Chains A and B, each alone.
Chain A
Amino acid sequence: MSAYGYDAVVIGGGVSGIMASLTLASRGFKTALVSRGDPVCCLSTGCIDVFSHSDEPLGGIRALLPDHPYSLVGEKGIVDSLSFFLEIMGEAGLPYEGDPGRNRKILTPIGSTKNTCLVPRTMAHADMPPGEYLHVISFQGIKDFFPSYITSRHRNSTYSVYDAGVPTTLGIAARFDDASFLDAFITWLRGLEIPLDRVALPAVLGTIDPDSVMEKISRAIGRKVFEIPTLPPSVPGLRLFRALKRVMQNRGIHLYWGKGVTSVECQGRTVEAVTLATTGRAKRVQGRAFVLATGSFVSGGLFAGRDSVRETVFDLPVAAPGERKDWFNTDFFSGAHGIERAGVRVDRDFRPVGAKIDNLFACGSILAECEIMSLQCGHGLAVATGVAAAKSCAQELS
């Protein structure tokens, strides 16, 4: 078995784990990040929901109970962590904008709007004043995107369909990376003589530099242009993930990707190392402190058995609501199911409660009481708790 030693080892490569490792690295700690697979942000809109359940995220957060992870971070911590995120995205060449004081709107594929907080530039113009004219562009054969859903809900709107030669969002996005494809598209678009004011497309404007693609289109037709995030696989979700990964690499964080932690070694109240499943020899990664960011059920950080919920790496105590019949209420659309509160409970320093381990911290959607679905706070919570857990971890290390 080969062994590698670090100051901090972050387990889980989602937004929370990535933000934790960037925080640790920025404070000079030798940091590794271990992840079994790609995170759920790849499936997301790419936008950072901080608290979409109300129009004012910080206002909504102030009203939360003290055991909500946001309450443990505190308002200043949340605002600072979001600024740090904006700074990172700038460095990555995929700038985001937005203000934690006020939510903004994006458009959904069924023509409804959705509150969110920080958005990539390609969605900045989605928050449009009522009455403006909207023209939607769709693509031949594209799955899960039906422009008539949008035009039927917008009084002043029309749509056209372009044949990109491929039907998948990822396929079309890859075509937009190619300048000659973009030129042909722009020529076609000009021929449509679209009236003012805005043009919306499914989020396929390239995988590498969507801002430039959008700018070029916008300049050519003299209209504001924006993207509508699609169902998974999601191009803006993938862009977000790739951008964050680039910054981690630039900042010297050691990545162990595609390998899950299969066992842990403890000495008294201290975790000393984790072992990774690899095709060849098992790998042992040593650290002085560990951050657990393995996500919730979708990523496998939590697992629901027939009658109880488990944490899958350290077998930490999990707070879960009663019996299985209490996990879900009968209304699909309420989102406020009991299972939304299941997870690892942490103290003010983001140490798991009842774990009997001193050098372990937890963050992200694995935390108890976060209610991501009903509060609509996925990425914001991941950013805020990732940074907060890393700060506590940094204190432990120094």
Chain B
Amino acid sequence: MVVTFFHDMFHEESSYMIKTDVVIIGGGATGCGIARDLALRGVHHYLVEKGDFANGATGACHGLLHSGARYAVTDPEAARECIGENAILRRIARKCVETTGGLFVRLPGDSKRYRDTFLSNCEEAGISTEVLSATRALDLVPELNPSIEEAVVVPDCSIDPFRLCMLNAFTSRHKGGGILTHHKVIDIVRERGRCTGVKVLDRFTSQIKEIRAKIIINATGAWGDTLARMGGSDAPMTLSKGSLIISNHRLTNMVINRLRPPSDGDIIVPNEAVCLAGTTSIPVDDPDAIEVDPREVDLVATQAEQMLPRFGTTRLIRAYTGVRPLLKAEASDSRSISRGFKIIDHKNGMFSILGGKLSTYRLMAEKTVDAVVEEFGIKARCKTADIPLDGQDELSGYPLSKRLKGIDNIVCECELVDRAQVENAINSLGIQYIGDIQHRTRLGMGPCQGGFCTYRALGIMQETGRLTPDESIEILKHFLQRRFRGIRPALWGDQLREEQLVESIYLGILNMGQRA
């Protein structure tokens, strides 16, 4: 790696240049998977991500490691890819995957003919199934609607997208790759029509850096077209917004799907102590201007309630939305657009990887890197399917017993995160952003959604000198505003009550309201 410092004559501040072989733009599952693949094949690279890992669709997704059953009827190719990757990820990413198994439940009125096609297509795709009577299904998941007709067991799993990104990036970092989070690509450097580097903005210092590379990989999901255009080409896609809600209880230990043609609100995925229910599918134009509509929340909650009746009365802690980057197609219903993926060689030094799913991120990375090494004339085989992700041994999971150890100095009461963990995250990882601490410690992920502990974590951060007091208050304001966006669409019942309390604290006791 060559790092040259130089003074840019056109800018006031000094800036610096980095040289490498490949620059990956995007720190979602796809970008991180590509970084690991390149690292294992010995290709030097840098990954740039404008937020923290999983800042885009990866962090806003359902966390379902598909068995492929959901696509068995509508998209057999995607189904086959899914079951293949499902088996691989269970093997290589044990600490990210919870092998919950999944149920497709058929409610009264759901077509029996669809069920028959479903079973035969699953068999054809190589997805194992077992049909259960309602009684046996209720033994497995007691909270199920007792009036279901039957259920089919499939090998669906729950997956932690953030961890998946972190562990993929871990290998890259370990092998000398550069990972720059909170760095936004603001321009692509071109020389004689060829992309030769990227200009990135360090969002913390506001410094602009330049990274020169032979190849640029655009793995920015929904932002793919924007980046391709910066490079002088384009990458047409269809963007589809999907919204999800989180309950504050784990109402099922298995993934629950509705046995009917894919539609709104027909999947519930358990994750740690909560459940995620979703989703909707609404075409959008701008991935940066999306919001959850309260009506989406009602729709998803109503559908989820049909499968797990307790979803109707349980407390919802948040709603959120993400944008699916789908391949452009003629069809107007975004659900019937292929979930397959495509690699575009823009023939200008840039490759874009488009479409796909979280479940197939590794395969997408493999195919992309195959294309890139061919360009370099290197004959290195992909090893990502054979070697388990590095860094998993150090991960303890989040067992309660461990979390209870520092009980006398708890910072986050909901998730039992103590001061030492927060300080450790700040000191060892050099974390500047509150979101980063939250992702790594689970601080603020519980029912209060950081309403109480974020103030505390920021106070600790400014005490360690990482932030000035003023900066930390600014970050707090920003956090509260963002948090409010997430919980606003699902504010009723106990969650509304708690929100009033949080508001009284910040606007009342701390007088942070606009009129302050």
Complex contact B507–A373 (CB within 8 A): yes
Residues of B within 8 A of A45 (CB): 508-509
Residues of A within 8 A of B294 (CB): 323-325
Looking across the interface, which residue of chain A has its beta carbon closest to that of B491? Answer: A328
Minimum CB–CB distance for A229 against chain B, Å: 7
Looking across the interface, which residue of chain A has its beta carbon closest to that of B312? Answer: A306
Segment 474-516 of B: residues with Cβ below 8 Å from A? 477, 480-481, 483-485, 488, 491-493, 496-497, 500-501, 503-516
- Tell yes or no: B84 within 8 A of A by CB: no
Complex contact B409–A167 (CB within 8 A): yes
Residues of B within 8 A of A181 (CB): none
Residues of B within 8 A of A332 (CB): 480-481, 483-484, 503, 506
Question: Which of B10-18, B201-209, B210-218, B463-471 makes up part of the contact surface?
Answer: B463-471
Of the candidates A44, A109, A153, A376, the one whose C-beta lies within 8 Å of that of B510 is: A109
Residues of A within 8 A of B503 (CB): 332, 335, 373
Complex contact A373–B504 (CB within 8 A): yes
Segment 153-172 of A: residues with Cβ below 8 Å from B? 153, 167
Looking across the interface, which residue of chain B has its beta carbon closest to that of A300? Answer: B497
A296→B515 CA distance, assembly (Å): 23
Looking across the interface, which residue of chain A has its beta carbon closest to that of B484? Answer: A332
Complex contact B493–A303 (CB within 8 A): yes
Question: Which of B142-150, B282-290, B454-462 makes up part of the contact surface?
Answer: B454-462
- Tell yes or no: B77 within 8 A of A by CB: no
Complex contact B512–A110 (CB within 8 A): yes
Residues of A within 8 A of B75 (CB): none
Of the candidates B301, B483, B509, B511, the one whose C-beta lies within 8 Å of that of A231 is: B509
Segment 75-111 of A: residues with Cβ below 8 Å from B? 108-111
Complex contact A144–B459 (CB within 8 A): yes
- Tell yes or no: A334 within 8 A of B by CB: yes
- Tell yes or no: A71 within 8 A of B by CB: no
Identify the interface centre among B469, B512, B516: most chain A CB within 10 Å of its CB: B469
Complex contact B511–A108 (CB within 8 A): yes
Interface of A, helix, strand, loop or mixed by DSSP: loop
Minimum CB–CB distance for A243 against chain B, Å: 20
A167→B509 CA distance, assembly (Å): 20
Complex contact B462–A148 (CB within 8 A): yes
Residues of A within 8 A of B462 (CB): 146, 148-149
- Tell yes or no: A280 within 8 A of B by CB: no
Residues of B within 8 A of A333 (CB): 477, 480-481, 506-507, 512-514
Minimum CB–CB distance for B511 against chain A, Å: 4
A285→B498 CA distance, assembly (Å): 31
Complex contact A149–B473 (CB within 8 A): yes
Complex contact B473–A110 (CB within 8 A): yes
Complex contact B493–A304 (CB within 8 A): yes
A300→B469 CA distance, assembly (Å): 36
Residues of B within 8 A of A378 (CB): 508
A110→B507 CA distance, assembly (Å): 12
A305→B301 CA distance, assembly (Å): 13
Residues of B within 8 A of A5 (CB): none
Looking across the interface, which residue of chain B has its beta carbon closest to that of A328? Answer: B488
Complex contact B501–A43 (CB within 8 A): yes
A332→B463 CA distance, assembly (Å): 26
Minimum CB–CB distance for A246 against chain B, Å: 25
Segment 213-258 of A: residues with Cβ below 8 Å from B? 229, 231-232, 234
Complex contact B510–A297 (CB within 8 A): no
- Tell yes or no: B298 within 8 A of A by CB: yes
Residues of B within 8 A of A152 (CB): 468-470
A333→B508 CA distance, assembly (Å): 11
A111→B459 CA distance, assembly (Å): 13
Minimum CB–CB distance for A241 against chain B, Å: 16
Residues of A within 8 A of B505 (CB): 231-232
Residues of B within 8 A of A331 (CB): 481, 514
Residues of B within 8 A of A296 (CB): 500
A157→B503 CA distance, assembly (Å): 29
- Tell yes or no: A190 within 8 A of B by CB: no
- Tell yes or no: A112 within 8 A of B by CB: yes
Residues of B within 8 A of A44 (CB): 504, 508-509
Minimum CB–CB distance for A171 against chain B, Å: 12
Identify the interface centre among B298, B463, B477, B509: most chain A CB within 10 Å of its CB: B509
Complex contact B507–A339 (CB within 8 A): no
Minimum CB–CB distance for B463 against chain A, Å: 6
A324→B456 CA distance, assembly (Å): 31
Against B, the Cβ 8 Å flags (1 = close, 0 = not) of A368-392 are 0000011010100000000000000
- Tell yes or no: A143 within 8 A of B by CB: yes
Complex contact B509–A335 (CB within 8 A): no
Looking across the interface, which residue of chain B has its beta carbon closest to that of A116? Answer: B511
- Tell yes or no: A68 within 8 A of B by CB: no
Complex contact A330–B492 (CB within 8 A): no
- Tell yes or no: A185 within 8 A of B by CB: no
Looking across the interface, which residue of chain B has its beta carbon closest to that of A327? Answer: B491
Complex contact A112–B514 (CB within 8 A): no
Residues of B within 8 A of A317 (CB): none
Residues of B within 8 A of A53 (CB): 515
Complex contact A297–B497 (CB within 8 A): yes
Looking across the interface, which residue of chain B has its beta carbon closest to that of A229? Answer: B509
Looking across the interface, which residue of chain A has its beta carbon closest to that of B291? Answer: A330
A332→B486 CA distance, assembly (Å): 11
Identify the interface centre among B294, B298, B301: most chain A CB within 10 Å of its CB: B294
Looking across the interface, which residue of chain A has its beta carbon closest to that of B477? Answer: A333
Residues of B within 8 A of A304 (CB): 491-493, 496-497
- Tell yes or no: A114 within 8 A of B by CB: yes
Q: Do A146 and B480 contact each other (CB < 8 Å), given the known contacts A53-B515, A112-B511?
A: no
Q: Do A297 and B496 contact each other (CB < 8 Å), given the known contacts A146-B463, A325-B294?
A: yes
- Tell yes or no: A321 within 8 A of B by CB: no
- Tell yes or no: A298 within 8 A of B by CB: yes
Residues of A within 8 A of B470 (CB): 152
Complex contact A297–B509 (CB within 8 A): no
Known: A43-B501, A110-B473, A332-B484. 12 other contacts (CB 8 A): A109-B509, A112-B516, A143-B456, A167-B408, A297-B497, A324-B294, A325-B293, A328-B491, A332-B506, A333-B481, A373-B503, A373-B508
Offer 24 A-B interface pairs, CB within 8 angstroms, sorted by A: A44-B504, A108-B509, A110-B512, A111-B469, A114-B509, A141-B409, A144-B459, A146-B463, A146-B469, A148-B463, A167-B408, A167-B409, A231-B510, A298-B497, A324-B491, A328-B488, A328-B491, A330-B484, A330-B485, A331-B514, A332-B506, A335-B507, A335-B513, A376-B513
Which residues on A are within 8 Å of B, measured CB to CB?
40, 43-45, 49, 53, 108-115, 141, 143-144, 146, 148-149, 152-153, 167, 229, 231-232, 234, 296-298, 300, 303-307, 323-325, 327-328, 330-335, 339, 373-374, 376, 378
Which residues on B are within 8 Å of A, measured CB to CB?
293-295, 298, 301, 408-409, 452, 455-456, 459, 462-463, 468-470, 473, 477, 480-481, 483-485, 488, 491-493, 496-497, 500-501, 503-516
- List 4 tightest A-B contacts by C-beta distance, closest first: A332-B484, A146-B459, A152-B469, A114-B511
